[in-house]
Amino acid sequence: MNTNFTPVASSQISGYQYDARNQTLRIAFNRGGVYEYSNVPPEVSEQVFNAASVGSEFSRVIKGNPSKYPFIKIG
């Protein structure tokens, strides 16, 4: 994982980067791949990474809403 990523304790996600100015969230997954999600407000990012289960909250809030939070694979 890139050293600029904040590590998380999750079976799905190894780390993340969040850019509040551009409202972009980059997620590095444990099984490989880095994805960038757009239009993610700061409060949504905080909700996900402060949850008891980061992976479940990410799947429910962000991954489960691809029309609201479009994404691209970047790595």
DSSP codes of every residue in 17-50: EEETTTTEEEEEETTS-EEEE-S--HHHHHHHHT
Q: What is the mean pLDDT of residues 11-20?
A: 96
pLDDT score of 69: 97
Q: Looking at 1-5, 10-14, 23-27, 33-37, which range is the least confident one?
A: 1-5
pLDDT score of 54: 96
The pTM for the full model equals 0.91
pLDDT score of 3: 67
Summary mean pLDDT of the chain: 94
pLDDT classification of 1: cutoffs 50, 70, 90: low
Query: What are the residue ranges spanned by the domains of the chain?
Result: 6-73
